Amino acid sequence: MKQPQFEIHPSVLSGETADIYFLRTKEILEKEGIDPIVTMEVFTSRAGMLCGISEVLTLLKQVLPEKSEVWALSEGDTMQKKEVVLRITAPYQSFGIYETAIIGILAHCSGWATAAKECVDAAQRIPIISFGARHVHPLVSGIMDYSSVVGGCESCSSIIGAKLSGTTPTGTMPHALILIIGDTPAATVAFDKHMPTEVPRISLVDTFKDEVEESVNVARSLGNRLLGVRLDTPSELGGVTPELVKRVRAALDSEGFNVVKIYVSGGMDPDRIRNFIETNAPVDGFGVGSYISGAKPIDFTADLHEVAGKPIAKRGRTPGITSNPRLKRILSSCPGAHKAGL
């Protein structure tokens, strides 16, 4: 994946998205003339896949002064429960108000990436596409889709998510196009007529007729230009099942359309994906939406472990730098940098 170009929203930089007590702390310290160099460590509440570090680094590069340093795991690294994933050493007032944003970014992005990885692992090398943009606020849809690609999804449906992740946005056609035109083969022919040649010809085949009949009709209409069909049968009709996929495959093969691929979507999660795999259903790709977009955030905690060079911690935590040899220095202009991982 290419290095994403994140844009930090002005409301984050201004501190408006922060918990109010961080703003009050900054005001008090400024008026007291106190601004020590501190070391803050961020650790995770449970195991999973780390995501969001690249965006956090973009934020820190904009706010940290010289002679600051940042150590972290890499984007997409696995992380263990209670593992320190990020360490910042800098004047407290330069970054204290961003604690809320930092752990919030890591929490949601890591939750999304971990859920995506669960689906990818279940699919056993069959591609997963993130279709979750419609389930989240539009201002975070790109970050969610980016996180899903970090988690192993081949691509995503949103344009902004694809831009961040360096992939090509992926999609077939909506039911709206088919309902308005009034016929699935006709809608697919219109799609083929007007879309650029690099856009895959994949037809949605559950709108008007049985998926088996619709798949064959579309294949006859488009011939060898048809890359695949997507099954998105609603739950009211039982949803997409391995048996349905097998019937569609058999019908396409019997008509000579062996190269037409079959994609499935609609309520997919790791258990359902495993069911398709274990029953040898001939699926060529899965679209996953709400399982990824609705993933529970992974809680992160930020603690100060040094203040003005003195080891310190709240009760129940160990004062001083927490050893983690896996951390890499990702930002430093301080000549007296800590040894790697210490």
Q: How far apart are CA 51 and CA 105, in angstroms?
A: 8
Quick one: pLDDT at residue 337? 38
Token couple for 299: 């809680």
Nearest to 263 by CA among 340, 337, 195, 202: 202
pLDDT band at 67 (very low <50, low <70, confident <90, very high): confident
The CA distance from 221 to 277, in Å, is 30
Report the distance separating Cα 234 and Cα 264, nearest Å.
12
Give the full edge-to-edge strand order of the sheet including 300-307: 310-311, 300-307, 37-44, 84-91, 69-72, 328-332
Q: Looking at the chain, which runs of residues are DSSP E strands? A: 37-44, 48-49, 69-72, 78-79, 84-91, 128-130, 155-156, 202-204, 228-231, 261-265, 285-288, 300-307, 310-311, 328-332
| pTM across the whole model | 0.93
Report the Cα–Cα distance between both ends of the chain, in Å, rounded.
Answer: 29
Interval 259-304: pLDDT, tens = 999 999 999 999 999 999 999 999 999 999 999 999 999 999 999 9
Helix (H, G, I), strand (E, B) or coil at 111: helix
pLDDT above 80 (res 241):
yes
Between CA 121 and CA 151 the distance in angstroms is: 10
Q: pLDDT band for position 338 (50/70/90)?
A: very low
* pLDDT (mean) for 167-177: 93
C-alpha to C-alpha distance for 130 and 155, rounded to whole angstroms: 6
> Which residues, other chains included, contact 159 with Cβ-Cβ below 8 Å and sequence gap of 6+?
169
Boundaries of CATH 3.20.20.70 in the chain?
124-293
pLDDT above 50 (res 243): yes
The mean predicted confidence, pLDDT, of the chain is 94
**Is residue 72's pLDDT more than 50?**
yes
What residues does CATH 3.20.140.10 cover in the chain?
10-110+296-332
Query: Right CATH number for 124-293 from 3.40.50.720, 1.10.10.10, 3.20.20.140, 3.20.20.70?
Result: 3.20.20.70
H-run or E-run covering 127: none
Band of residue 2 on the pLDDT scale cut at 50, 70, 90: low
- What residue type is 173 in one-letter code? M
What would the pLDDT profile of 103-119 be if each residue is shown by its tens digit? 999 999 999 999 999 99
3-state DSSP: the chain helix, strand, coil percent, rounded to 5?
45, 20, 40
Q: Are strands 155-156 and 128-130 parallel, antiparallel or unpaired?
A: parallel
CATH T-level fold of 10-110+296-332: nicotinate phosphoribosyltransferase (3.20.140)
Specify the pLDDT at position 333.
Answer: 60
**Those residues with Cβ within 8 angstroms of residue 202's Cβ, 6 or more apart along the chain or in another chain:** 172, 173, 226, 227, 228, 229, 230, 261, 263
d(CA 73, CA 71): 7
Buried b or exposed e, range 91-108, using 16+ CB within 10 angstroms? ebbbbbbbbbbbbbbbbb
Flag whether pLDDT at 340 surpasses 60. no
Structure tokens at 316: 């129940």
